[in-house]
Amino acid sequence: MITQMKKYTFLVFHRDYDAFLESLREAGVVHITQKAAGLLEENQDLQAALQHEDELRRLLKQGAPDQLLQERDAIAQRIRDTQELAKQTAVWGTFDAAQIHALEEAGHTLRFFSCSDKAFQAEWGIVVNSEAGRTYFVQVTPAGEEPADLSETSAQPVTLPEKDAAHLAQEIEHLNGLLAAANARIGAWQLANMESIEKQLKEARQQIDWQRVQLSTNRLAEGALCLVEGFCPIDKEAELNALLEQSQVYYEETDPTEEDATPIKLHNNRFAKLFEVFTGMYGWPTYGEFDPTPILAPFYLLFFAMCMGDAGYGLVLIAFGLLTHYKKVNIEMFEGLGPIIATLGVGTTIVGFFLGTFFGMPLLEASWYPESLKHLIISGNVMGFDAQMVLAIGIGVFHICLAMIVKALCYTKRFGFAETLSVWGWVLLIVGGLIVFSVSALLNLPTQVTKWIIIAIAGISALAIYIFNKPGRNPLLNIGAGLWDTYNMATGLLGDVLSYVRLYALGLAGGMLGGAFNSIALMVLGEHPTWQWLPFLLILLFGHVLNILMSALGAFVHPLRLTFVEYFKNSGYEGKGQLYQPFKK
């Protein structure tokens, strides 16, 4: 949910303004309304401060000045180049480059070649080594003779390095010492400077916030008065008012209007708070909208679990989430996400048992799984379709109907009932029609009764959609707008509902792939295994790790798609708000 805000307008004498801002910053509860970013960015002092902040942030992230990093990287590159050269040189064994040069100065010609073992002919030269199906040889031609021409053969000329592998190994050891020294210099620099840089970065951020507030201040009466606006959460209202009464500053306190750029502060329970990160990925709600997180949270959990579709994989996610949360596994991209990963794992485990899959094994066929629990597994057909697919579509219909109801309630709150008659007309037609058909089927109502109820719903909905969709407007324009809405609904709703089939398809695909890896592993194991246990375990481990990674990726992306496209579109959610960021130290 969204915390209620109060709008404040402050009018301060210019001599007292800096002290007043300092007191506001000490309190740390007021979100100052700032001017458009383009106007602020024109200020050169602010631009310089922002550039300084970026430099400090970059230095803090990379952990050392460019000069030290470039020195370390250059040494590391030399090590890689030398290691590659040593690998290429090792096939030639130990040699003395000085002796080779002495032979060449005496008039002998030495040429080095390599070719496949099968292609080599003894008259080509002296074999030095044979390795990995290739022969390495040297052609020695005495002074005054012409070397044999091997250009028409498969022999490939090789340039012999100045140093053999043993000398290159010594050079690599020396370079590793230089690399260790470079890393030590970086570590010493970090020890001496990182804390200071973090402090400078905090100060730079505070200075930028101060400059933004100063630039967002309206100067009145030839600069004698300073006017600034801000917002405060209602739970901090008493604290702020007490401060203002002590400072004897003139202020006005009002409720925000639709035109105000009111920031939002989310206030959700521990479960929904985990999923606020997904709301932020799309965009924060405006002050007049509903916070979508309380509805997003349970549905995303359900969608993720259905896309994973395997109870065993859920247990793996729980373990991984807990290990991440307690810093037993440190992977940067998952930092801080341990609780939500574990929560998604719990949902996947529960839903996986209802879908009947455990590490790719169908639980309905498992002799070890209790018969009493098998009755809870969703299986069989409904009207000729797989029950799990029907369930996915049913969830989609409910999700979209809920989105339409939320849209009607939200628009009514923001714009009034008269301005949202068309929205309510569609809710009545679609949601009301589904309810009537469902009740009629369950209670076996007379056909005539159902018919007249549907006619009444259709008539009322038609008036709201085509006649009264915009009060005071030309009826012909209203009819045209209603027809356009009808076209959009007719072409969009069916596609939206069918999109939820992915919940069934992804879960089915993951289960089938897991089962395929199980079958391959069992085929390798055979009936009387001995050494076959090792490949059996490797296939299971590799297969299920791969399947978990692919399933988790799909289970992360597709529920977001169903939320951001199908749900948000039908709920009218815009997500153009800004978060409450109080002016504070």
Three-class SS of 98-133: HHHHHHHHCCCEEEEEEEECCCCCHHHCEEEEEECC
Cα–Cα distance between 328 and 326 in angstroms, integer? 6
- Answer for the pair 326, 277: CB distance below 8 angstroms, yes or no: no
- Give the pLDDT score at 144: 76
- Answer for the pair 400, 414: CB distance below 8 angstroms, yes or no: no
CA 338 to chain centre: 14
Cα–Cα distance between 209 and 211 in angstroms, integer? 6
- Give the pLDDT score at 39: 54
- Give the pLDDT score at 40: 58
> Chain-wide mean pLDDT for the chain?
87
> What is the 8-class DSSP label of residue 92?
G
Among candidates 456, 455, 481, 486, which has minimal Cα distance to 469? 481
Q: Where are the domains of the chain?
A: 96-159, 270-411+493-571
Residue segments in the chain with a per-residue pLDDT below the cut of 50: none
pTM: 0.76
Show the tokens assigned to 516: 């395929």
- Give the pLDDT score at 561: 92
* Digit-coded pLDDT (tens) for 267-317: 999 999 999 999 999 999 988 888 999 999 999 999 999 999 999 999 999
